[in-house]
Chain A
Amino acid sequence: MLPFVFPRWANKTRQIAGVVLGVAPIYLIGLVWYGASPKTTDVGYMPKQPVPYSHALHAGELGIDCRYCHSTVERAGHAAIPPAATCMNCHRFIWQESKKLGPIRESAKSGKEVEWIKVHDLPDYVYFNHSAHVTRGVGCATCHGRVDRMVQVFQREPLSMSWCLDCHRAPEKNLRPPEEVTNMSWKPPGDPVAFGKSLREKNHIDPPTDCSTCHR
């Protein structure tokens, strides 16, 4: 009986196998690294809000200060979402009839909340504190981007752990004078890093990178 012989092309299988085994792990790691990154999954998240509120109009054109609405940002962990009453301060007088403002008027009347969709949503085991950053001179724009140009707010930065750590390890590049934090168009005079360094000295900014800084 003849011994069994594989076709000639079978000789190639070894080389092919070699290549596959070599490349596959690299590909997989890349896939996880890039594909599963918030850079890919989260950045650009732009949910539809119940009221088409335009930051571009209010913060941008009208130049209303962030803190007019997000009033607690300097005192508290959360930058509070304004109550309908705050909107009505102005909209009692302008655009009273606007259909888009319906939910706001409704809420102001009934006392029932407007259900905004959260855009910048950290994992719940992360304890981020706005006041700790704002009072040190980390600008709103640093994490939220140029909200004053966003008609509809979307997530600008990945907000991933390594992204936080990058700044906590070298805050210079993101520091500004505390009074400038809400200034969207602020530009550092001269070399940003050098300027940041000087601010860091001046305000004794030394962000911790311990686990318990954010996880409790």
Chain B
Amino acid sequence: MAIWTEANPFLDPPAGENSFSRITHNVTRVAEAEKPPKAWFIALGISSTMLAIFGISIAYVFWNGIGSWGNMHPVMWGFPIVNFVFWIGIGHAGTLISAILFLLRQTWRTAINRFAEAMTIFAVMCAGIFPGIHVGRPWLPYWMFPIPNQMSMWPQFRSPLEWDIFAVGTYFTVSLMFWFMGMIPDLATLRDRATSTPRRLIYGILAMGWRGSSRQWHRYERAYLILAALATPLVLSVHSVVSFDFATSQLPGWHTTIFPPYFVAGAIFGGFAMVLTLAVPARQFFGLKRLIAIRHLELMNKILIATGLMVGYAYGMEFFISWYSGSPYEGFAFVNRAFGPYAWAYWTMVTCNVLIPQLHWFKEVRTNPWATLAIGIAVNVGMWFERFVIICTSQSRDFLPSSWGYFIPTPFDYMTLCGSFGLFFTLFLLFCRYLPMVAMAEVKAAHPDAHAAHAQAHAAVTEAARA
């Protein structure tokens, strides 16, 4: 593993006369470095190749008709929608961490919120592509937007797909603002440290004239708080609405009231898993071990256990309700999931989402970055299969046995799937390279030194108590 042994400039301890400047240096040196570690280039090479595959597969599908994918009758949705729901799910941790944990004053979030948010943005971008390209006539999805026209035709607002448009749209906009706003002070830092004119110009524009005056700080804090308050309900709403696509339909296995909470829990579960998957290598490559400490990983792993259990509960409850409903179709849908032709998918899901995360009960496991990474990946796989099971298995066998079928993906399905990861990782790698990966300003604010005076006061009080 040359990339580990090679001299990685980011692995030396950060320079600086006090902890604040060390933090600054630790983060900014990545963006300011002449050239990133070889590993970065290798990673970018791979991801951009996958991105190209994405483009090719979509182009081919557009050209020949979406029959190039495996979608069939009755499995009308197949991979594209599976991927859509999967990515939307990933896009949850970011806003959750930055908004909800912020409101809950969980200072440890500062270590990871910045690139959790970035991850959210990119994941939602991946997700947003699929509803557009999966339709039969991909040059027309704009008909789903309420645009005045000569046919006096409007979208059909009773359709959950229509709700998706607005839910996802809002979520993306707010997350983007949230992310960008949080970055402004750090961008200003980069601007001020910049040595070349183009960097000065670009970071300067992005910093939007931030001067760090106390008035600006005051406004900034307010706005941030308000955005956090706005974003919090969205975390719950988006995936609830996405789950309506299924919950409001008649299909056995979809027609389930537990879906909204179940989807949200699953989304947070998957989102955190993805954060971990990204955080572990990032802190390794870019020497952020001091900022993203084992403690942070451990905390996230605990959340992973919690949400994992919720998801597990949902799996169980689905079975109970389907039996309790007394509808033979509902009942069959779930028996078929677990023991029908798609059992392999179902049990993969259960193993990855319910069984494997239980390892985190052991401190050795949840404090070990590599174990964390492995389990994170496993959960991502599991969550993808969860969507596959919900969509494909349910569709493949519904009411009339005469129209049952078995969905078999084509190469283009796989190309599009891994292609979407290409898009995601490419964006993420560029982010790591050119933007502040950790919220410097916030870390500093949360740093003990920021509260030195406060600490002394404490000391005084305890002295008095002793006396």
A residues at B contact (CB < 8 Å): 1, 3-4, 6, 10-11, 14, 29, 32-33, 36-39, 158, 160-163, 165
Q: What are the residues of chain A within 8 A of B191 when measuring CB–CB?
A: 3-4
B residues at A contact (CB < 8 Å): 147-153, 191-192, 194-195, 200-201, 204, 208-209
Instruction: Find the residue from B150, B191, B195, B201 having the highest chain A CB count within 10 A.
Output: B150
Cβ contact within 8 Å between B194 and A4: yes
| Assembled-state Cα–Cα distance A4/B148 (Å) | 46
| Assembled-state Cα–Cα distance A101/B208 (Å) | 74
How close is A20's CB to chain B, nearest CB, in angstroms?
16
Q: List 22 A-B contacts (CB under 8 A).
A: A3-B192, A4-B192, A4-B194, A4-B200, A4-B204, A6-B204, A10-B209, A14-B208, A29-B147, A29-B148, A32-B149, A33-B148, A33-B149, A36-B150, A37-B150, A38-B150, A39-B150, A160-B151, A161-B151, A162-B151, A162-B152, A163-B150
How close is A195's CB to chain B, nearest CB, in angstroms?
27
Cβ contact within 8 Å between A6 and B209: yes
Q: What are the residues of chain A within 8 A of B148 when measuring CB–CB?
A: 29, 32-33
| Assembled-state Cα–Cα distance A38/B147 (Å) | 16
Chain B's closest residue to A6 (CB) is B204
| Assembled-state Cα–Cα distance A32/B209 (Å) | 37
| Assembled-state Cα–Cα distance A173/B191 (Å) | 68
Cβ contact within 8 Å between A161 and B147: no
Q: What are the residues of chain B within 8 A of A161 when measuring CB–CB?
A: 150-153
How close is B185's CB to chain A, nearest CB, in angstroms?
14
Among candidates B147, B192, B195, B201, residue contacting A32 with C-beta atoms closer than 8 Å: B147
Q: What are the residues of chain B within 8 A of A39 when measuring CB–CB?
A: 150
Instruction: Find the residue from A4, A37, A38, A162 having the highest chain B CB count within 10 A.
Output: A4
Question: Could you list 14 further interchain pairs (A-B, Cβ under 8 angstroms) beyond the known A161-B152, A161-B153, A162-B152?
Answer: A1-B195, A4-B194, A4-B200, A6-B204, A10-B209, A14-B208, A29-B148, A33-B148, A33-B149, A33-B150, A38-B150, A161-B150, A162-B151, A165-B152
Q: What are the residues of chain B within 8 A of A4 when measuring CB–CB?
A: 191-192, 194, 200-201, 204
Instruction: Find the residue from A3, A14, A38, A39 having the highest chain B CB count within 10 A.
Output: A3
Q: What are the residues of chain B within 8 A of A14 when measuring CB–CB?
A: 208
Q: What are the residues of chain A within 8 A of B192 when measuring CB–CB?
A: 3-4
Chain A's closest residue to B197 (CB) is A4
| Assembled-state Cα–Cα distance A33/B150 (Å) | 7
How close is A92's CB to chain B, nearest CB, in angstroms?
46
Q: What are the residues of chain B within 8 A of A10 when measuring CB–CB?
A: 209
How close is A126's CB to chain B, nearest CB, in angstroms?
11
In the complex, the 4 A-B pairs of residues with the closest C-beta atoms, listed nearest first: A161-B151, A162-B152, A160-B150, A4-B200
| Assembled-state Cα–Cα distance A11/B211 (Å) | 14
| Assembled-state Cα–Cα distance A33/B195 (Å) | 49
How close is B234's CB to chain A, nearest CB, in angstroms?
22
Chain A's closest residue to B151 (CB) is A161
| Assembled-state Cα–Cα distance A36/B151 (Å) | 12
Among candidates B150, B195, B200, B208, residue contacting A162 with C-beta atoms closer than 8 Å: B150
How close is B462's CB to chain A, nearest CB, in angstroms?
43
| Assembled-state Cα–Cα distance A161/B151 (Å) | 5
| Assembled-state Cα–Cα distance A33/B146 (Å) | 12
How close is A202's CB to chain B, nearest CB, in angstroms?
29
Q: What are the residues of chain A within 8 A of B204 when measuring CB–CB?
A: 4, 6
Q: What are the residues of chain B within 8 A of A163 when measuring CB–CB?
A: 150
How close is A122's CB to chain B, nearest CB, in angstroms?
13
**Given the contacts A3-B192, A4-B191, A4-B194, A158 and B200 also touching, CB distance less than 8 Å:** no
